[in-house]
Structure 1
Amino acid sequence: MELSDLFVPTAARIDMVSMLTYFFLLASMYAFLGNFLFSIISNGLTVPEHRLTRTMGAVVAGIAALSYYFIQNYYQHMLTDLARLGTLAEQQDLIRTSYNAIGQYRYISWSITTPIMLLTMVLLLRIDPMQAKGSIVALLLADFLMVLTGYIGEQQLDATGHIVMGPKLFWGAVSTVAYLVVPFVLWRLWNRFKNQVTAVERRAFKLAAISTVTTWGVYPVGYVLSVFPINMNYVHIGFSIADVINKVGLSVAVYLVGKTMLDERVPKDATQPAYNIG
């Protein structure tokens, strides 16, 4: 393959917003890959009771990294076509229709990563599944319906690949109702089990729950904005930032919990002298 056959997008060939979008997609992929590697390598640095949650975080990061690899690869090929278009209207139309295609990768990823993230939060409270079987089932069912109905809404397209507003907003409303169930169930679990864990675990759960309520809220906002004639690159950027904050953020919170608890149990002098720096 000749070097001249490779298309590397630059601001000289395409617009700056598309360049920034490509940057955020790649940066997100790298962030998830780094989180995956860190989760695997540092798993032994946490207390045993939170090593499963660390492994679950690695699974989430690995799936997200692979998903963003496909997304950025598709987006780069889209930019190749974008650079050949002559008018701004043609470029915006391609960006809009490619957004609908990229949504396939996002929803497939979310269908796997979001339930794992919710179970990670349940494990932060060290809940025995038999103690809260109904709540956990409700949590996972609400998450499944949220992703499924959102996916159905994203498929409300005409023959040219453009959004059909009415049906999309209807399914979006159903998805939002399911989304609102998630923080409600998390709040009930918090009230019921918060006293059986340590202070550091309570802080981590609260941080993770707040992240769920806030950053997950970015997705229905982007969903609604997609029916308006805006530059869909801004939605891609918002989704990328929210994905990194809630997925990597949860993983880091779990690591800090496990590391802090291990440091409290193991004396500082319980290390090999050869590794001490005087």
Structure 2
Amino acid sequence: LSPTEIKALSFLGTSKSSHCPKLPGGFTLKRKDSGKAFGRIVQCSAQQPPPAWPGRAFPEPGRKTWDGPKPISVVGSTGSIGTQTLDIVAENPDKFRVVALAAGSNVTLLADQVKQFKPQLVAVRNESLISELKEALADVEQKPEIIPGEQGVIEVARHPDAVTVVTGIVGCAGLKPTVAAIKAGKDIALANKETLIAGGPFVLPLAHKHNIKILPADSEHSAIFQCIQGLPEGALRRIILTASGGAFRDWPVERLKEAKVADALKHPNWSMGKKITVDSATLFNK
């Protein structure tokens, strides 16, 4: 219960006040009749709060090492996170500029992004699509450097002019670019959860070693980050992740054993890539 000083708790139903558990430290809930129709008032003395999160949530002062709009690289620029990031850049040209983009296989959208944001470097993970990308950029006057494959993605992540790298690539494929960016001294706007799930014990000490900030940039972990800003040390006791509703939200449990991939891909609220849509339906992303 919070805060630690509690004078009274009101219950609309009398059945809810029928159980008065003993609390740690010798504190006990005491019940008395109020004489009112809505139920009873439960009174208790001060109690010790449960064990709290020992970390800190104070935002650190920013480090500005550039002039003009902040230069960023976007890894996974054609995905859900990447396109939303570029929408923000387009709306705030005085605050951000794109120096490098990396995509998986959607070269049509990547070409459009190159024409709009004019990056210095572009990477396509699928090496067989390089010719198609070059053809799509044939009419561009200032053509970017193009590097194919995984190495190209890594070069985008550690581009010398980038201050922050947005990692929106799906799966463990985001681990190597993130590590490369950290070693190159880039702050990370992290939307790739797998980087911390699969490589957290390695990535976090590495970020600390290089004095790098990792900023949560996607859904659940960004929401948690925003909630704890400004809280004093030890203020956080627990975190509850809610589910807004995937494809199986309204399914009865007994029907889940018959679920098909096509069913999982029918997300009612968001249009995303196949993997993240399935992960949403199965709650794996939580």
Task: State the TM-score, normalizing by the size of structure 2.
Answer: 0.21
Q: Which has the higher helix share?
A: 1
Give 1 or 2 for the bigger CA radius of gyration: 2
Task: State the TM-score, normalizing by the size of structure 1.
Answer: 0.22
- Of structures 1 and 2, the one with the larger relative CO (CA 8 A, separation 6+) is 1
Q: Which has the higher strand share?
A: 2
